[in-house]
Structure 1
Amino acid sequence: MQYHTSHRQSLLKTAILWITFSIVPLALSAQNYKLNNGEGEVMVTGTSTLHDWEEVAEQKSGSITLDNTGDLPKINTLKFTVEAESLKSGKGAMDKNTYKALETKKHKQIVFELKSVKSISPVTSTSNKYKVVATGDLTIAGSTNVIELPFNLTLNNGTVLLEGKKALKMTDFNVDPPKALLGTITTGDDIEIHYNTVWK
Protein backbone atom coordinates (compact mmCIF):
# COMPACT_ATOMS: atom_id res chain seq x y z
CA MET A 1 0.00 0.00 0.00
CA GLN A 2 2.82 2.36 0.93
CA TYR A 3 4.59 1.50 -2.34
CA HIS A 4 1.49 2.19 -4.45
CA THR A 5 0.92 5.56 -2.75
CA SER A 6 4.51 6.74 -3.20
CA HIS A 7 4.56 5.44 -6.77
CA ARG A 8 1.36 7.35 -7.54
CA GLN A 9 2.80 10.53 -5.99
CA SER A 10 5.96 10.11 -8.05
CA LEU A 11 3.94 9.74 -11.24
CA LEU A 12 1.89 12.80 -10.32
CA LYS A 13 5.03 14.92 -9.75
CA THR A 14 6.47 13.74 -13.08
CA ALA A 15 3.23 14.66 -14.87
CA ILE A 16 3.15 18.13 -13.27
CA LEU A 17 6.79 18.76 -14.23
CA TRP A 18 6.15 17.62 -17.81
CA ILE A 19 3.10 19.89 -18.17
CA THR A 20 5.00 22.83 -16.64
CA PHE A 21 7.98 22.49 -18.96
CA SER A 22 5.67 22.04 -21.96
CA ILE A 23 3.84 25.27 -21.21
CA VAL A 24 6.84 27.45 -20.26
CA PRO A 25 8.35 27.64 -23.79
CA LEU A 26 4.97 28.76 -25.16
CA ALA A 27 4.74 31.50 -22.53
CA LEU A 28 8.30 32.65 -23.19
CA SER A 29 7.89 32.75 -26.97
CA ALA A 30 5.00 35.24 -26.91
CA GLN A 31 5.66 38.71 -25.54
CA ASN A 32 3.01 41.26 -24.69
CA TYR A 33 3.58 45.00 -25.21
CA LYS A 34 1.42 47.89 -24.01
CA LEU A 35 0.93 51.15 -25.89
CA ASN A 36 2.75 54.07 -24.26
CA ASN A 37 0.30 56.99 -24.36
CA GLY A 38 3.04 59.52 -23.59
CA GLU A 39 5.06 58.76 -26.72
CA GLY A 40 4.23 58.76 -30.42
CA GLU A 41 1.20 60.33 -32.05
CA VAL A 42 -2.13 59.48 -33.64
CA MET A 43 -3.51 62.22 -35.87
CA VAL A 44 -6.57 62.53 -38.11
CA THR A 45 -6.37 64.91 -41.08
CA GLY A 46 -9.04 66.11 -43.46
CA THR A 47 -10.36 68.95 -45.57
CA SER A 48 -13.23 71.42 -45.49
CA THR A 49 -14.62 74.14 -47.73
CA LEU A 50 -12.67 76.64 -45.60
CA HIS A 51 -9.31 74.98 -44.87
CA ASP A 52 -7.56 71.70 -44.16
CA TRP A 53 -7.69 70.48 -40.56
CA GLU A 54 -6.10 68.02 -38.16
CA GLU A 55 -6.97 66.49 -34.81
CA VAL A 56 -4.59 64.74 -32.42
CA ALA A 57 -5.64 61.91 -30.07
CA GLU A 58 -4.56 62.77 -26.53
CA GLN A 59 -5.69 59.46 -24.99
CA LYS A 60 -4.80 56.18 -26.65
CA SER A 61 -4.23 52.66 -25.34
CA GLY A 62 -3.70 49.14 -26.60
CA SER A 63 -1.75 45.91 -26.50
CA ILE A 64 0.12 43.73 -28.99
CA THR A 65 1.36 40.16 -28.52
CA LEU A 66 4.32 39.05 -30.64
CA ASP A 67 6.03 35.70 -31.14
CA ASN A 68 9.67 36.31 -32.10
CA THR A 69 10.89 32.71 -32.23
CA GLY A 70 10.70 32.29 -36.03
CA ASP A 71 12.44 33.96 -38.95
CA LEU A 72 9.65 36.55 -39.00
CA PRO A 73 7.78 37.98 -36.00
CA LYS A 74 4.23 36.68 -35.66
CA ILE A 75 1.51 39.05 -34.46
CA ASN A 76 -0.85 37.01 -32.30
CA THR A 77 -3.06 39.84 -31.04
CA LEU A 78 -3.37 43.59 -31.61
CA LYS A 79 -5.94 45.95 -30.14
CA PHE A 80 -5.80 49.73 -30.33
CA THR A 81 -8.20 52.21 -28.72
CA VAL A 82 -8.63 56.00 -28.94
CA GLU A 83 -10.91 57.87 -26.57
CA ALA A 84 -13.17 59.74 -29.00
CA GLU A 85 -13.40 62.94 -26.93
CA SER A 86 -9.61 63.07 -26.62
CA LEU A 87 -9.42 64.13 -30.29
CA LYS A 88 -8.33 67.78 -30.17
CA SER A 89 -7.90 70.31 -32.98
CA GLY A 90 -7.04 73.34 -30.86
CA LYS A 91 -10.41 74.83 -31.86
CA GLY A 92 -13.21 74.23 -29.37
CA ALA A 93 -16.06 74.77 -31.85
CA MET A 94 -14.59 72.25 -34.29
CA ASP A 95 -14.07 69.69 -31.53
CA LYS A 96 -17.70 70.11 -30.44
CA ASN A 97 -18.90 69.46 -34.00
CA THR A 98 -16.61 66.41 -34.24
CA TYR A 99 -17.98 64.91 -31.01
CA LYS A 100 -21.54 65.51 -32.22
CA ALA A 101 -20.83 63.74 -35.53
CA LEU A 102 -19.16 60.81 -33.70
CA GLU A 103 -22.00 60.65 -31.16
CA THR A 104 -19.45 60.46 -28.37
CA LYS A 105 -22.11 60.48 -25.64
CA LYS A 106 -23.11 56.98 -26.82
CA HIS A 107 -19.86 55.80 -28.43
CA LYS A 108 -16.91 56.67 -26.21
CA GLN A 109 -14.14 54.88 -28.10
CA ILE A 110 -12.70 54.26 -31.56
CA VAL A 111 -11.32 50.71 -31.63
CA PHE A 112 -9.24 48.60 -34.03
CA GLU A 113 -8.92 44.86 -33.31
CA LEU A 114 -6.79 42.50 -35.39
CA LYS A 115 -8.45 39.64 -37.27
CA SER A 116 -5.53 38.35 -39.35
CA VAL A 117 -2.13 39.26 -40.84
CA LYS A 118 -2.18 39.09 -44.64
CA SER A 119 1.55 39.60 -45.10
CA ILE A 120 4.75 40.45 -43.24
CA SER A 121 8.16 40.95 -44.82
CA PRO A 122 11.50 42.50 -43.77
CA VAL A 123 12.26 45.96 -45.17
CA THR A 124 15.90 44.89 -45.68
CA SER A 125 17.78 41.66 -44.94
CA THR A 126 19.69 43.26 -42.05
CA SER A 127 17.03 45.45 -40.40
CA ASN A 128 14.59 44.74 -37.59
CA LYS A 129 11.88 46.61 -39.49
CA TYR A 130 9.02 44.82 -41.24
CA LYS A 131 6.24 45.78 -43.64
CA VAL A 132 2.91 44.42 -42.44
CA VAL A 133 -0.55 44.28 -43.99
CA ALA A 134 -3.20 43.35 -41.44
CA THR A 135 -6.98 43.09 -41.50
CA GLY A 136 -9.18 43.89 -38.55
CA ASP A 137 -12.41 45.35 -37.23
CA LEU A 138 -12.47 49.14 -37.00
CA THR A 139 -15.32 50.58 -34.94
CA ILE A 140 -16.17 54.29 -35.24
CA ALA A 141 -19.35 55.84 -33.79
CA GLY A 142 -20.77 52.38 -33.16
CA SER A 143 -20.34 51.14 -36.75
CA THR A 144 -17.82 48.36 -37.45
CA ASN A 145 -16.11 47.66 -40.78
CA VAL A 146 -13.37 45.19 -41.69
CA ILE A 147 -10.42 47.21 -43.03
CA GLU A 148 -6.98 46.46 -44.39
CA LEU A 149 -4.31 48.25 -42.36
CA PRO A 150 -0.75 48.63 -43.70
CA PHE A 151 2.03 49.58 -41.28
CA ASN A 152 5.72 49.29 -40.52
CA LEU A 153 6.68 47.30 -37.42
CA THR A 154 10.08 47.90 -35.82
CA LEU A 155 11.53 45.81 -32.97
CA ASN A 156 14.10 47.67 -30.87
CA ASN A 157 15.41 46.57 -27.44
CA GLY A 158 12.10 45.65 -25.82
CA THR A 159 10.18 48.34 -27.68
CA VAL A 160 7.82 47.94 -30.64
CA LEU A 161 7.13 50.82 -33.04
CA LEU A 162 4.07 50.80 -35.31
CA GLU A 163 3.78 53.51 -37.93
CA GLY A 164 1.62 54.04 -40.98
CA LYS A 165 -1.41 55.82 -42.39
CA LYS A 166 -4.86 54.81 -43.56
CA ALA A 167 -7.40 56.66 -45.72
CA LEU A 168 -11.06 56.32 -44.75
CA LYS A 169 -14.45 57.79 -45.58
CA MET A 170 -16.62 59.02 -42.70
CA THR A 171 -19.81 57.93 -44.44
CA ASP A 172 -18.54 54.31 -44.54
CA PHE A 173 -19.08 54.39 -40.76
CA ASN A 174 -22.44 56.20 -40.98
CA VAL A 175 -20.83 59.45 -39.81
CA ASP A 176 -22.15 62.63 -41.42
CA PRO A 177 -19.21 64.98 -42.12
CA PRO A 178 -19.43 67.84 -39.59
CA LYS A 179 -20.78 71.24 -40.66
CA ALA A 180 -20.31 74.70 -39.15
CA LEU A 181 -21.78 78.19 -39.42
CA LEU A 182 -25.26 76.96 -40.35
CA GLY A 183 -23.88 74.62 -42.96
CA THR A 184 -21.79 77.19 -44.85
CA ILE A 185 -18.61 75.29 -43.91
CA THR A 186 -18.65 71.58 -44.75
CA THR A 187 -16.05 68.96 -43.88
CA GLY A 188 -14.91 66.60 -46.63
CA ASP A 189 -15.92 62.95 -46.39
CA ASP A 190 -12.33 61.71 -46.88
CA ILE A 191 -10.03 61.56 -43.87
CA GLU A 192 -6.62 60.05 -43.21
CA ILE A 193 -5.36 58.52 -39.98
CA HIS A 194 -1.60 58.91 -39.37
CA TYR A 195 -0.04 56.96 -36.54
CA ASN A 196 3.41 56.62 -35.06
CA THR A 197 3.03 54.64 -31.84
CA VAL A 198 5.38 53.21 -29.20
CA TRP A 199 4.66 49.94 -27.37
CA LYS A 200 6.68 48.64 -24.41
Structure 2
Amino acid sequence: MNKDFYNLLNSDIHPSIMMELVSVKKQDLNTNFNALVNIELSGVKKSYYIPVIIEKNESISINGSIKLNICDFNLDPPTKALGLIVVDEEIEIILQLEVKEQIN
Protein backbone atom coordinates (compact mmCIF):
# COMPACT_ATOMS: atom_id res chain seq x y z
CA MET A 1 0.00 0.00 0.00
CA ASN A 2 2.86 2.39 0.75
CA LYS A 3 4.29 1.78 -2.72
CA ASP A 4 0.92 2.64 -4.29
CA PHE A 5 0.70 5.81 -2.20
CA TYR A 6 4.23 6.84 -3.21
CA ASN A 7 3.28 6.25 -6.85
CA LEU A 8 0.13 8.34 -6.38
CA LEU A 9 2.22 11.23 -5.01
CA ASN A 10 4.76 10.96 -7.85
CA SER A 11 7.46 10.53 -5.20
CA ASP A 12 10.14 9.84 -7.79
CA ILE A 13 9.68 13.41 -9.08
CA HIS A 14 8.45 15.06 -5.84
CA PRO A 15 10.10 13.08 -2.99
CA SER A 16 8.81 15.25 -0.12
CA ILE A 17 5.65 16.88 1.15
CA MET A 18 6.30 20.45 2.27
CA MET A 19 4.37 22.35 4.92
CA GLU A 20 5.18 26.00 5.60
CA LEU A 21 3.79 27.72 8.69
CA VAL A 22 2.85 31.23 7.49
CA SER A 23 1.07 32.70 10.51
CA VAL A 24 -0.83 31.88 13.69
CA LYS A 25 -3.75 33.98 14.94
CA LYS A 26 -5.56 33.68 18.27
CA GLN A 27 -9.21 32.63 18.05
CA ASP A 28 -10.41 33.13 21.63
CA LEU A 29 -9.19 33.67 25.19
CA ASN A 30 -8.18 30.03 25.61
CA THR A 31 -5.53 28.08 23.71
CA ASN A 32 -7.36 27.98 20.35
CA PHE A 33 -5.64 29.47 17.32
CA ASN A 34 -5.84 29.34 13.52
CA ALA A 35 -2.64 28.53 11.67
CA LEU A 36 -2.24 29.52 8.03
CA VAL A 37 -0.09 26.92 6.29
CA ASN A 38 1.07 26.32 2.75
CA ILE A 39 1.08 22.64 1.79
CA GLU A 40 2.95 21.42 -1.29
CA LEU A 41 2.00 17.94 -2.41
CA SER A 42 3.20 16.42 -5.67
CA GLY A 43 4.34 19.83 -6.92
CA VAL A 44 1.02 21.61 -6.23
CA LYS A 45 0.94 24.27 -3.51
CA LYS A 46 -2.27 25.22 -1.62
CA SER A 47 -2.97 27.40 1.44
CA TYR A 48 -5.15 26.22 4.32
CA TYR A 49 -6.25 27.40 7.74
CA ILE A 50 -5.82 24.73 10.39
CA PRO A 51 -7.40 25.08 13.83
CA VAL A 52 -4.61 24.41 16.34
CA ILE A 53 -4.17 24.28 20.07
CA ILE A 54 -1.04 25.85 21.53
CA GLU A 55 0.26 24.82 24.94
CA LYS A 56 3.33 26.19 26.66
CA ASN A 57 5.37 24.09 29.10
CA GLU A 58 9.13 23.55 28.81
CA SER A 59 8.50 23.97 25.09
CA ILE A 60 5.66 25.27 22.96
CA SER A 61 3.38 22.57 21.51
CA ILE A 62 1.31 23.30 18.40
CA ASN A 63 -1.21 20.56 17.61
CA GLY A 64 -3.93 20.29 14.98
CA SER A 65 -5.16 18.33 12.00
CA ILE A 66 -6.78 18.93 8.63
CA LYS A 67 -8.50 16.70 6.11
CA LEU A 68 -7.54 17.33 2.48
CA ASN A 69 -8.96 16.08 -0.78
CA ILE A 70 -6.15 14.72 -2.95
CA CYS A 71 -8.06 15.84 -6.05
CA ASP A 72 -7.26 19.44 -4.98
CA PHE A 73 -3.64 18.57 -5.78
CA ASN A 74 -4.49 17.16 -9.23
CA LEU A 75 -4.15 13.57 -7.97
CA ASP A 76 -6.56 10.78 -8.90
CA PRO A 77 -7.16 8.08 -6.28
CA PRO A 78 -5.99 4.72 -7.65
CA THR A 79 -8.25 1.68 -7.98
CA LYS A 80 -7.24 -1.97 -7.70
CA ALA A 81 -8.82 -5.32 -8.56
CA LEU A 82 -10.85 -3.93 -11.47
CA GLY A 83 -12.34 -1.18 -9.33
CA LEU A 84 -13.27 -3.32 -6.32
CA ILE A 85 -10.70 -1.54 -4.14
CA VAL A 86 -10.80 2.27 -4.27
CA VAL A 87 -8.59 4.66 -2.30
CA ASP A 88 -10.48 7.44 -0.51
CA GLU A 89 -9.95 10.94 -1.94
CA GLU A 90 -9.64 12.40 1.56
CA ILE A 91 -6.44 12.22 3.60
CA GLU A 92 -5.75 13.60 7.06
CA ILE A 93 -2.61 15.51 7.95
CA ILE A 94 -1.80 15.70 11.65
CA LEU A 95 0.36 18.61 12.78
CA GLN A 96 2.43 18.14 15.94
CA LEU A 97 5.10 20.78 16.31
CA GLU A 98 7.36 21.23 19.35
CA VAL A 99 9.22 24.52 19.58
CA LYS A 100 11.88 25.32 22.17
CA GLU A 101 13.03 28.83 22.92
CA GLN A 102 16.73 29.35 22.40
CA ILE A 103 18.50 32.24 24.06
CA ASN A 104 21.72 33.38 22.41
TM-score bin, normalised by smaller chain: 0.7 to 0.9
The one-letter code matched in structure 2 to 1:96 is K
Equivalent-residue separation in structure 1 for 2:25 and 2:85 (angstroms): 40
| Counterparts in 2 of 1:97 and 1:182: CA distance versus 1, 3 Å | farther
Residue 185 of structure 1: aligned partner: 85
SS at match of 2:71: helix
Alignment partner of 2:35 out of 122, 125, 134: 134
Amino acid corresponding to residue 103 of structure 1 in structure 2: N
Structure-2 separation of matches of 1:119 and 1:174: 32
Show the counterpart of 1:146: 47
CA separation of 1:146 and 1:195: change in aligned 2, threshold 3 A: closer
Distance 1:196 1:117, change over 3 A: closer
**Cα pair distance change 1:196/1:135, threshold 3 Å:** closer
Unmatched segments (≥5 aa) in structure 2: none
1:156 to 30, 43, 57: 57
Where in structure 1 do 4 or more consecutive aligned residues deviate above 4 Å? Answer: none
The offset of 1:189, in angstroms, is 1.0
The one of 155, 164, 170 equivalent to 2:70 is 170
Secondary structure of 1:188's counterpart equals coil
Kindly indicate which of the two structures has a greater share of residues assigned to helix. 1
Contact 1:121/1:131 (<8 A) preserved: yes
Give the whole-Å Cα distance in 1 for the aligned partners of 2:77 and 2:25.
31
Counterpart residue number, 1:114: 21
Equivalent residue pairs, number: 100
1:151-179, Cα deviation, whole Å (9 max, x unpaired): 1111112x121211111101001111132
Q: Helix, strand or coil: the match of 1:135?
A: strand
| TM-score, normalization by structure 1 | 0.45
- Who is 1:68 aligned against? none
Deviation at 1:120, TM superposition (A): 4.5
Answer yes or no: is the 8 Å Cα contact 1:155–1:161 preserved in 2: yes
- CA-based RMSD of the aligned residues comes to 1.8
AA matched with 1:143:
V
Of residues 159-168 and 189-198 in structure 1, the stretch that sits farther from structure 2 once superposed is: 189-198
1:97 and 1:180 in contact (8 A); partners too: no
Contact 1:168 1:192 in 2 (8 A): yes
